[in-house]
Amino acid sequence: MRTTNHVTFAKTFAMTLYFAFVDDLATTFCMQQAQEIKFLQMKKAKPLVNLWSSGHPAQSKSKTVCDVVKHSLYGLKQVPRAWFNRLHTFLISVGFQASKTDVSLFYFSRDFALVYLLVYVDDILLMGSDQALVTHLLSKLSATFKIRDLGEPNFFLGIETVKCDDEILLSQQQYMNDILKHAGIAECKPLSIPISVSKIVPFSADLYDDPTSYKSLAGTLQYLTVTPPDLSFAVNQLCQHMHVPTTSYWEQLKRVLRYVKGIIGFGLRIQKSMSKEIHAFSYSDWVGYPEDRKSTSGFAIFLGTNLISWICKKQRTVARYSTEAEYKVLAYV
């Protein structure tokens, strides 16, 4: 494997982010800590970096051999890494600081003014409490990169933002419709709950004959948990069986899709809140899986009255008592 300066040239660098930060930034904007928000999109960048390792035969040839990457961010494997390194270096040089939680999040502080910058490949969300400072940083960014200012974000990473008076509604209605069309059940009958709680569903060990379809739909449902938190538990169960899906879990997946049909018009509402206190609520489903006797952890975090983060995760070890399972949940929060 060819490496130079601890860079693995056989691996792809994926520039992703935690979707929870989208909810957090929307909450910050709605609580009037931000006065200006911009959605930016990068155009084709200038030459980034020479991707040939030292001693590569192409170095001795002319630049027509693709000595420098000039075009798409999705061409060679190392282009996204080179692009992000260049953007990271520029942001640090103008005063931004990188978040220790997510590499795609940067923040700039001056006196009492704050500016947040969220990066997803070539899409950027810029938000700040000082309009003049945001304009100043935007001018520096546009002087170095070719960018397009799309104004306030109406659609970002599949999440639609709808402003209503003093609140914001985050919706994934279009994404839900796309999933139902992909599954071929766009006109199905909706259900009120994703998992049956009135009766025990009989388990079948028969393998599902189309595991690729199961994996595809279960994978798309993971990105649907950004706005409806009540899907987290059901999707968590489905994704634990992607390696060997059975007919029972395929039926459960179709039930979840029918529940999605019933909540297409729903979204996550974020409104103004006088309180800035953080509250966390946790719960555990003790021995929720009869197959391995493991419990499931879940928690939700509120900033004031707004839900900003939640998760549903299977515990790694078996809890002998329900109290032990509860304490393990607190370790995740």
Residue that is last in its domain, among 227, 262, 297: 262
- Total count of domains within the chain: 3
More confident residue, 204 or 327: 327
Domain assignment of residue 19, given as a range: 3-157
Residue 67 domain flag: yes
3-state secondary structure of 302: strand
Distances (CA, A) of 207 to 103, 210, 220, 234, 240: 40, 9, 21, 20, 15
Asked if 150 and 44 sit in the same domain, the reply is yes
Residue that is last in its domain, among 200, 232, 262: 262
Per-residue tokens: 44 = 């084709």
Asked if 17 and 149 sit in the same domain, the reply is yes
Asked if 52 and 138 sit in the same domain, the reply is yes
Give the separation between CA 55 and CA 68, rounded to whole angstroms: 16
Asked if 18 and 144 sit in the same domain, the reply is yes
Residue 291 domain flag: yes
Residue 104 domain flag: yes
Render 64-121 in DSSP notation, one character per residue. GGT-B--S-TTSSTTHHHHHHHHHHHHHHHTT-EE-SS-TTEEEEEETTEEEEEEEET
Worst-scoring range by mean pLDDT, 19-33, 179-193, 299-313?
19-33
Which residue's entry shows tokens 């968590």? 236
Please indicate, yes or no, whether the overall pTM of this predicted structure exceeds 0.75. no
Worst-scoring range by mean pLDDT, 125-134, 169-178, 208-217, 252-261?
125-134
Asked if 12 and 135 sit in the same domain, the reply is yes
Distances (CA, A) of 3 to 8, 10, 55, 115: 5, 8, 11, 37
Asked if 27 and 119 sit in the same domain, the reply is yes
Query: What is the helix (H) or strand (E) element at residue 181, kind and residue range?
Result: helix 173-183
How much is the pLDDT for 214? Answer: 93
Residue 162 domain flag: no
Q: Find the mean pLDDT for residues 62-73.
A: 43
Residue that is last in its domain, among 97, 125, 157: 157
Residue 312 domain flag: yes
